[in-house]
Structure 1
Amino acid sequence: MGKGGSLSDGVLKKILLSYTYVAIWIFLSFTVIVYNKYILDKKMYNWPFPISLTMIHMSFCATLAFVLIKVFKVVEPVTMSRDLYLSSVVPIGALYSLSLWLSNSAYIYLSVSFIQMLKALMPVAVYSIGVLFKKDGFKSDTMINMLSISFGVAIAAYGEARFDTWGVMLQLGAVAFEATRLVMIQILLTSKGITLNPITSLYYVAPCCFVFLLFPWFFVEMPILRESSSFHFDFVIFGTNSLCAFALNLAVFLLVGKTSALTMNVAGVVKDWLLIAFSWSVIKDTVTPINLFGYGLAFLGVGYYNHSKLQAMKAKEAQKKIGQGDEETGKLLEEREGEVGMGKRSDSQN
């Protein structure tokens, strides 16, 4: 009974920890999205410079990652050659900088709720690019699922009260670049046996992103900022905003490392509904019934996709256990045959 009780306590503790990781990630992701919207939106803080904001995040994260690795030695840096950095990290950094730039830019033109609805297309983009790069096999039932998600998002877009074509293009571009980045991480890093935690990832990728963003910033935002003499850098606003962005990267690693990527996907759906509710009730963004109906269809498609992935993971684990069991049975049979052979030799000697 005591043993069973301790086991139940252990399971309960694991469940509580999982929910804690999910809650931390949802809170930080929620905070970063709303904070970025507050800074960039012309009706709020009114600082519509998404490239500059992304560069502030990247410089802050790169500096903090450098201090944690080189000064405090919290984690060991991954050994990486120059060729590997140029062939793997630089393309991933370029895609990441474009994804962040475009997604932050979309907050100027679109509501928080509608942006979350458009982000439901992420599984569609990841699967399509995975098939294109031959990382995923084409399956007709999965493609039908992807089309249902796309159809739901299209309905949500049709019902959007503040539809802005340029904003939608920016957000769709951000989704495409982010999906490509995720696939490229699998191709360029995972296939070579390299895994980066958030600190080492920011240590290598953030400076690369900063350099890539310098070029558009120099021509697009720097001239406007130089003419705007009224602006004074608010260390509290941008400092806390950057700290939240850094903490979110750590929370992603914590959530995926302690639970699974699938848990993060499911938690992301919960976060999206919370953001839609917050956008409607607090920010007073208009959310129409057609919006909700379309996103509801997309939500069902994403839910089915996550369910299919979970079933595939379970089947893979079961097959792996069967394989291990067959291997152990084979070893036992070999040992028994060896013992029988030794017994026969000893009998013949006698």
Structure 2
Amino acid sequence: MSSTPKGGGGGGGGGGGGVAAAMSGRFFTVGLVTSWYSSNIGVLLLNKYLLSNYGFKYPIFLTMCHMSACSLLSYVAIAWLKLVPLQTLRSRSQFFKISLLSLVFCASVVSGNVSLRYLPVSFNQAVGATTPFFTAVFAYIITVRTEAPLVYAALLPVVTGVVIASGGEPSFHLFGFIMCVGATAARALKSVLQGILLSSEGEKLNSMNLLLYMAPVAVVLLLPATIIMEENVVGKTIALAREDMKILWYLLFNSALAYFVNLTNFLVTKHTSALTLQVLGNAKGAVAVVVSILIFRNPVSVTGMLGYTLTVIGVVLYSEAKKRSSK
């Protein structure tokens, strides 16, 4: 008789353990998403502060600092901490493809950092939300792959919203806008090229291993560009540090945060579904806009906010249309 209550108690304990594990898993996922949001928005705002408000006018050198940190911390995470298994390169051809991706990636990050010198973060994010449009364009040009008519229709509000936001942006700067569009297009081109170049089973790399190989190549590519286009930047940075030591801490923290963006993005991708990631990514841009306006207090117009809202709605519709067309 006494064995029945014990069995029941064990079942209850197992059920309680299952609930506890589910709650623990949920908290872990929320913590990951919060870290992803914080690092993404944090590096964006700190880039803006350094390049625009603080007056550190060296976007290429800043990008090289980011890539140097990504090189070092990727090696530590994979080779020492073994967060993910090390994937080795199989051929020179694979290395060439990764180098090409790294070049496009550099163009994207440098252009994005340059644009932050001239544009508020809120408008920068509005333009960045048009990535699906450029992805669809490059996918068609390079692979001649067409989407369902509903998918293309969903891209109309994406582009229309940015046109409206541009017209209503009080801090509009043409060169900054061109750089921002270039950064968005390069980001889309990288995703399309990555899908093509590393599509075979033998060449596929997870995002952490891809960063491990891309980041050092990026540093090599950015070094001559920094020397030629941002003359004596190291000397100028040292001179700045003599006046204000905080600049070194800003650069170190910002560079480490740039790596943390990639790490948390990988972990969120691993622990959530692709659809959840899309939804979270759409919301992240909106959160970044609100936070940047609260911190930098850049002027915004009703027209600009309406345009950005239309773009976000378009991106959500695009994601939904893509999901339906792939079924």
Q: Considering the TM-score relative to the shorter chain, is it more than 0.5?
A: yes
Of residues 175-184 and 190-199 in structure 1, the stretch that sits farther from structure 2 once superposed is: 190-199
How much does 1:10 deviate? 5.6
1:198-230 Cα deviation digits (max 9, x unpaired):
442222000111111123212110246657773
How far apart are the structure 2 equivalents of 1:228 and 1:237? Answer: 12
Relative distance call for 1:312 and 1:193 in structure 2 (3 A) is farther
- Residue from 236, 241, 245 that aligns with 2:254: 241
Match in the other structure for 1:231: 240
How much does 1:287 deviate? 1.2
Percent identity of equivalent pairs: 29
Relative distance call for 1:152 and 1:17 in structure 2 (3 A) is same
Alignment of 1:13-52 (within 5 A): 13-41=24-52, 44-52=53-61
Instruction: Say which SS state the counterpart of residue 191 (structure 1) adopts.
Output: coil
Match in the other structure for 1:266: 279
Match in the other structure for 2:7: none
Match in the other structure for 1:222: 231
* Structure 2 unmatched ranges of 5 or more: 1-10
How much does 1:301 deviate? 0.9
How far apart are the structure 2 equivalents of 1:133 and 1:5? Answer: 53
Q: Is the 8 A contact 2:59 2:114 kept in 1?
A: yes
Higher relative contact order (CA 8 A, sep 6+): 2
How much does 1:105 deviate? 0.8
1:254-295 Cα deviation digits (max 9, x unpaired):
011111333222112222222222222221111110011111
Query: TM (normalized to structure 2)?
Result: 0.87
Aligned length: 312
Match in the other structure for 1:345: none
Instruction: Say which SS state the counterpart of residue 303 (structure 1) adopts.
Output: helix
Which is greater in Rg? 1
Matched, 1:76 2:90: no
How far apart are the structure 2 equivalents of 1:185 and 1:274? Answer: 28
Of residues 47-56 and 143-152 in structure 1, the stretch that sits farther from structure 2 once superposed is: 143-152
How far apart are the structure 2 equivalents of 1:157 and 1:86? Answer: 40
Q: In structure 2, what residue type is equivalent to 1:29?
A: N
1:22-45 Cα deviation digits (max 9, x unpaired):
22211111111111111111xx22
How far apart are the structure 2 equivalents of 1:278 and 1:30? Answer: 8
How far apart are the structure 2 equivalents of 1:68 and 1:255? Answer: 16
How much does 1:162 deviate? 0.6
Alignment of 1:74-223 (within 5 A): 74-134=83-143, 136-223=145-232
Relative distance call for 1:298 and 1:73 in structure 2 (3 A) is closer
* Structure 1 unmatched ranges of 5 or more: 316-350
Instruction: Say which SS state the counterpart of residue 255 (structure 1) adopts.
Output: helix
How far apart are the structure 2 equivalents of 1:75 and 1:15? Answer: 22
How far apart are the structure 1 equivalents of 2:238 and 2:285? Answer: 38
